[in-house]
C-alpha cells in the first residue's frame, strides 16, 4: 500500500511538475526540464517518500484511538497469526528405555529459506516412548459395532514406560474428513476400550471408555500465547481457523491397569456402537505417536535503544536478524540502564494499570504502535516510553534493553512437508523430527476500515449475544482471518458459519455435590450440507461449546446439544463451568 503512495507522489513530481513548469515558466521554469543530477533525483525521491507517508496517515481510515482501544480490550486481535504445523518426533534407535519428555516451548528449526533458518517451538509436551505403531486395523465384521485395533511394538525394558498411568497420545493423521470422523467416533460412539497382548490366547483387559480424551482443548495445549486481558474463549477459535489439525489428538490414559499382562506386542482395541460410516478405509498411517503442534515463534533481543529527548517513538528491530525475515509478535520485557547507575529500571506495559503506590514510586511505561510496513506486507512495531507525569524520556542518558517474541514474517510459507527438521538450541538429542503437515501461511491482523466495526461487535459481546443466530455468525466470522490469504479455506469456513440454522437457549439446573447449580442449555441446529462430513460438523460444534463455556458466568455452567439437518442426528457435550467474571 505504501509503495502505491510513493509511486503516485514521484509520478506527480516528474510528470505534472513538468507540465506545471511549462505553464508557469516564470515561477517554476526549472520543473519543466529533466535533470540528470543524481543528488537532485535523490532529493525528489526523498520528498516523494515523505509526502507519501503524510498521505498514508491522512488516508488512514482507522484512527490511532481505535488501535489503542483494540490493544486495550482485544490485544490478541492486533497480532499476526504465525505459521504453524504438526511435527512428528522419531526416537533414535536404541536411545530410549524410559519415558522422555520433550517439554512445551522446545525450539526447533527448519531448512534455510533465503539464507535464514525459520525457528519454531512446540506448543505441547511430547512424551517419547520406546514404542512404535505397527498397524491400524479397521474391523467391520459387525457393521453395527465396528472396532479399530491399534497395534504396537515395544521391548521388555520399555514396558514400564509404556504401561503407565499417563498412557499414550495418538495423533490422527491424513485426510481431514477421515480424521474428524474418527474423532467423532471416539468422542460420541465409543462403547469400550481394552488392551490385549498379541500372543496366542491372550485376553484383553478393559480400561474403560473414560480413558479416552480429546487432547487439543486444554489450556496446557494452547498453541497461541494469550494476553491475560484477552477473552480466553476466542483462543480456540483462532486456533481452529488457523490449524484445525491441532484438535486431532487423543489421549489414552490408564494403561497401567494392563501392566500385569503386558507384552512386547500388544494392541488397544476401540469398540464403537452405531457410528456413521467412514468416507474411506483406514490406513496404517492414520495414527502417529510422538507428535505436537509447532508455531513460528522465538525469543530474541532487540537492538539496544538509546533514548533521545527529541524522538517520540522508535522502530523496533531484532538484533542480528534481517528485518525482511523478522516480525515482532509481542514485547516480553523492557528495561532501562541509566548512565552512572548499576540497577535497571523496568518499564511496564501502559495498559497493565500498575500505578504508583507513593509519590516517590513513579513507574515508567511503554506503548507499542503497529503499522503496515513500507517494505512488504508485514507489520512494523514502534515503541514509545513515558511516565504518568510526562517526565521527558532522555532527560538522563538511558539505554533500553528489550526482549521480543518474533516470527519469521512470510518466510515459513515457503517451507514444505519435512522441512522443519533442523536442530536448534534445546532440541532433543535423542530424537529426529520433521513436520508431517504443510506449514500454514502467516495471517496479518485485520488493519483497515473493518477494524473499528470489529471492535464495536466485540464490545457488544456477551452470552446473550452468542444465543442469537446472526450475532453468533458475526462473531465467528470475526475470527475467519484466513479470508485474507486463502480463498478456498475462507469459503469453507463461511459455509460452516452459515450452516448455523438456529440457536435456542433455556435455563437448566443440575445438582453438583447435592447443591443446585443454575446454568444455560444451548441447542444448535446445524445444516449438514455446510460441512464436509459429520466429523467436520462435530469439531466445529466442539469449538463453539468451548466458546460458550468461556462466556458463561462464574458459578454457572454451559451445556451444549446439537441437532443436525436433514438427518436429525443429535450430539451432546458435558456441562462446562462458566469462566466469565460477574461484575
For 303-318, write each residue's pLDDT tens digit: 999 988 878 889 999 9
Q: How many CB atoms lie within 10 A of CB 273?
A: 13
Place 1 in a pLDDT band, splitting at 50, 70 and 90.
Answer: low
What's the grid cell of residue 356?
A: 504508583
- DSSP secondary structure code for residue 514 in this structure: T
Whether 546 has a pLDDT exceeding 80, the answer reads yes
Write down the pLDDT at residue 541.
96
Whether 44 has a pLDDT exceeding 80, the answer reads no
Alpha carbon 151 to chain centroid, angstroms: 33
Whether 287 has a pLDDT exceeding 60, the answer reads yes
Alpha carbon 15 to chain centroid, angstroms: 48
What's the grid cell of residue 358?
A: 507513593
Place 445 in a pLDDT band, splitting at 50, 70 and 90.
Answer: confident
How many residues in total does the chain contain? 583
- DSSP secondary structure code for residue 14 in this structure: I
* Burial group, residue 345, by CB count within 10 angstroms (0-12, 13-18, 19+): middle
Cα–Cα distance measured from residue 201 to residue 181, given in angstroms and rounded to the nearest whole number: 32
365 CB-near residues (< 8 Å, 6+ apart): 347, 348, 349, 350, 385, 386, 387, 388
Cα–Cα distance measured from residue 452 to residue 70, given in angstroms and rounded to the nearest whole number: 8
Rg (CA), the chain: 28
Q: How many CA atoms lie within 13 A of 28 on its CB side?
A: 13
Q: What is the percentage of the chain residues whose pLDDT exceeds 70?
A: 86
Whether 471 has a pLDDT exceeding 70, the answer reads yes
Cβ proximity of 241 and 346 under 8 Å: no
- DSSP secondary structure code for residue 554 in this structure: T
The string of DSSP letters for 362-391 reads --EEEEEEEEE-SSSSSEEEEEEEE-TT-P
Alpha carbon 381 to chain centroid, angstroms: 20
The string of DSSP letters for 269-329 reads EEEESSPPPPSS---GGGEESSEEEEES-EEEEBPPEE--TT-S-EE--BTTS-GGG-EEE
pTM of the model: 0.85
Write down the pLDDT at residue 354.
63
Cα–Cα distance measured from residue 307 to residue 10, given in angstroms and rounded to the nearest whole number: 34
pLDDT tens string 68-104: 777 777 777 778 899 999 999 999 887 788 899 999 9
Q: How many CB atoms lie within 10 A of CB 504?
A: 13
Alpha carbon 268 to chain centroid, angstroms: 32
pLDDT tens string 185-210: 999 999 999 999 988 777 889 999 99
Whether 386 has a pLDDT exceeding 90, the answer reads no
If one compares 436 and 575, the residue with the highest pLDDT of the two is 436
Query: Directed axis angle between helix 450-459 and helix 64-73, to 10°?
Result: 40
Whether 582 has a pLDDT exceeding 50, the answer reads no
If one compares 449 and 58, the residue with the highest pLDDT of the two is 58
Whether 292 has a pLDDT exceeding 70, the answer reads yes
Cβ proximity of 336 and 400 under 8 Å: yes
Cα–Cα distance measured from residue 572 to residue 541, given in angstroms and rounded to the nearest whole number: 10
Domain boundaries, the chain: 2-59, 130-289, 298-407, 460-577
The string of DSSP letters for 99-134 reads -EEE-TT-EEE---BTTB--EEEESS-EEE-S-EEE
Amino acid at each position: 500500500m505504501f509503495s502505491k503512495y510513493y509511486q503516485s507522489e514521484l509520478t506527480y513530481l516528474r510528470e505534472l511538475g513538468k507540465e506545471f513548469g511549462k505553464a508557469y515558466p516564470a515561477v517554476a521554469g526549472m520543473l519543466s526540464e529533466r535533470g540528470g543530477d543524481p543528488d537532485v533525483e535523490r532529493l525528489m525521491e526523498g520528498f516523494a517518500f515523505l509526502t507519501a507517508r503524510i498521505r498514508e496517515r491522512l488516508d488512514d481510515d482507522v484512527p490511532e484511538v481505535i488501535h489503542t482501544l483494540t490493544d486495550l480490550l482485544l490485544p490478541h486481535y492486533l497480532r499476526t497469526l504465525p505459521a504453524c504445523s504438526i511435527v512428528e518426533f522419531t526416537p533414535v534407535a536404541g536411545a530410549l528405555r524410559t519415558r522422555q519428555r520433550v517439554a512445551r516451548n522446545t525450539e526447533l528449526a527448519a531448512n534455510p529459506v533465503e539464507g535464514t533458518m525459520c525457528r519454531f517451538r512446540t506448543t505441547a509436551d511430547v512424551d517419547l516412548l520406546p514404542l512404535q505403531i505397527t498397524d491400524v486395523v479397521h474391523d467391520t465384521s459387525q457393521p453395527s459395532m465396528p472396532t479399530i485395533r491399534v497395534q504396537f511394538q515395544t521391548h521388555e525394558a520399555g514396558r514400564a514406560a509404556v504401561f503407565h498411568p499417563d498412557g499414550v497420545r495418538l495423533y490422527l493423521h491424513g485426510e481431514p474428513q477421515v480424521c474428524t470422523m474418527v474423532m467423532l467416533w471416539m468422542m460420541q460412539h465409543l462403547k469400550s476400550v481394552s488392551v490385549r497382548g498379541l500372543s496366542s490366547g491372550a485376553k484383553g483387559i478393559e480400561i474403560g471408555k473414560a480413558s479416552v480424551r480429546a487432547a487439543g482443548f486444554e489450556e496446557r495445549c494452547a498453541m497461541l500465547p494469550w494476553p491475560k486481558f484477552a477473552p480466553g474463549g476466542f483462543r480456540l477459535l483462532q486456533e481452529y481457523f488457523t490449524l484445525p489439525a491441532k484438535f486431532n489428538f487423543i489421549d489414552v490414559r490408564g494403561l497401567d491397569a494392563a501392566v500385569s499382562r503386558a507384552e512386547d506386542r500388544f494392541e488397544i482395541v476401540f469398540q464403537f456402537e452405531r457410528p456413521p460410516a467412514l468416507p474411506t478405509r483406514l490406513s496404517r498411517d492414520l495414527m502417529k505417536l510422538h507428535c505436537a503442534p509447532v508455531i513460528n515463534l522465538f525469543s530474541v533481543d532487540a537492538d539496544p535503544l538509546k533514548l533521545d529527548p527529541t524522538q517520540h517513538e522508535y522502530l523496533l528491530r531484532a538484533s542480528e536478524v534481517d528485518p525482511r525475515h523478522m516480525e515482532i509478535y509481542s514485547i516480553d520485557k523492557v528495561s532501562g540502564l541509566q548512565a552512572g547507575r548499576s540497577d535497571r529500571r523496568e518499564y511496564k506495559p501502559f495498559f497493565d494499570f500498575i500505578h504508583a503506590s507513593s509519590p516517590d514510586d513513579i513507574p515508567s511505561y511503554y506503548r507499542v504502535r503497529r503499522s503496515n510496513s513500507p517494505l512488504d506486507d508485514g507489520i512494523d512495531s514502534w515503541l514509545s516510553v513515558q511516565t504518568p507525569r510526562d517526565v521527558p524520556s532522555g532527560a538522563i542518558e538511558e539505554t533500553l534493553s528489550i526482549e521480543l517474541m518474533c516470527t519469521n514474517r512470510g518466510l515459513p510459507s515457503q517451507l514444505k512437508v519435512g522441512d522443519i527438521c533442523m536442530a536448534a538450541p534445546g532440541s532433543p538429542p535423542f530424537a529426529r523430527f520433521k513436520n508431517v503437515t504443510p506449514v500454514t501461511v502467516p495471517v496479518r491482523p485485520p488493519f483497515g476500515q473493518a477494524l473499528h466495526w470489529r471492535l464495536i461487535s466485540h464490545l457488544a459481546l456477551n452470552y446473550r449475544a452468542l444465543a442469537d443466530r446472526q450475532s453468533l455468525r458475526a462473531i465467528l466470522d470475526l475470527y475467519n482471518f484466513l479470508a485474507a490469504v486463502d480463498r478456498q479455506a475462507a469459503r469453507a469456513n463461511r459455509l460452516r458459519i452459515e450452516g448455523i440454522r438456529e440457536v435456542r437457549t433455556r435455563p437448566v439446573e443440575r445438582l453438583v455435590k447435592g447443591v443446585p447449580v443454575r446454568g444455560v442449555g444451548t441447542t444448535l441446529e446445524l445444516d449438514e450440507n455446510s460441512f464436509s462430513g459429520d466429523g467436520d460438523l462435530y469439531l466445529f460444534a466442539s469449538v463453539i461449546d468451548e466458546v460458550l463455556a468461556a462466556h458463561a458466568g462464574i458459578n454457572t455452567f454451559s451445556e451444549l446439544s446439537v441437532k443436525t439437518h436433514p438427518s436429525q442426528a443429535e450430539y451432546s457435550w458435558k456441562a462446562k463451568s462458566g469462566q466469565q467474571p460477574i461484575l
